[in-house]
Chain A
């Protein structure tokens, strides 16, 4: 059984082909092989949400996915988020409300927030709280994050 395999992924619009160890997690591949260090490792068991990112339009825990499973997909990490549209509005809103302190949860939190807005999530703080309850933040107390997402939702998501 070969312990390496060649994969091709599109990350933030760049196409990468690499031969990698089949046991490597997607997050380690993105960070260590490609240098996309914007996504973070928090728990490596799918609970904290720090490594959450977008693959083909779905939000995924990149610590629970093998890199080989991402073969042929298009991945968007925080480095690839646009400065306009939903992502841009959320980034602006996060800065204005101070919805981040240390910034370590932010890449995953933004990915979950984008998912919420793109799915037509409305300006409902309880729903927003439930939606981001797979993303652990130790610094903020969550309120500023909820308010940042709320204000984007209130403005129609864009």
Chain B
């Protein structure tokens, strides 16, 4: 008995909870109608009661009394009879008015419930369409849109907002898919090469020690390439998550260390590195910051020209540490900059250009700057090459004593064109000496001399 009872109740509850907005809209509509109708009719009823006062000879004005007496005399009845007739007629009229009002209110209320239900259904129909379409959209058909037609109202706004969300999701899914496709291409090609090389060596009809040696060397080179690629991918993954470590670092120290590591490479390519390393304290993950500077320097060197130059500056402007790297090199179109920040995109042709670069350098830089809330600006230079600037978030809590002299110098004249000064020159001691002379001539370089970069 109890089970059948509960069985009967569930569908009612389900219906109610499923159509709750429609139900509520109807209820609100009908009750508002009922209240305002009742109010209106009550006011009307009271108005009629006021206009038709109960006949009472004691409270009657002399003029009314005289008129009633004349009227009663003309009809040959007493005043009392007339008044009692009037009273009966008034009571009847008021009673009828009340009864009809109530009936009318009841009828109209029912009508308002029906109309409210219909209106709510109609108003909520687009919402139902939105729900159904959204329910059917998954990762596979993210290109579908609601495209709600009709008046420019809130529901259309909702549908437009959902469409925008879908567009963003679609873009992000696409870039994810592209990344996976590119990563699998980049990872599988060297694997395929290695396998092909080894198989070719094993099936060689007349193998010689030299041919085996060549194969081993080539397989080893490919294996090293894979190691670099995996490390870069791991670095990208690491730099995309929140920072593990947050330590105070001086960009100048870091940059000087990185430049030391790149000296040989620069020398080989006859590229002159000039550095002005003023203290630039930041807080962040030292490994990531080092990777950031390393990637940018590597980039500046590998996409350069013979006898080109790389200019590296670290400084603090308005308590923000700034790293800037400017290099000569081939022309880069401004339109290509955002593409270069995508993984596996390389300078020049598309990603299948095998020039030895992994195509991950700038993606990693981008991820690291994002993780440190730093701002990355990349501009192509007019005569070729890139000008890259990384502005770190303001270092509020940092002790002024440490950076005092350097930053005050900048604050006086923030747009001062900084005189080029050596710190590390790629080419030779001669260049270094020449630059030192230039730096002495160009003004106070106490900050640089004190900077650990020169130690």
Partners in one complex: no
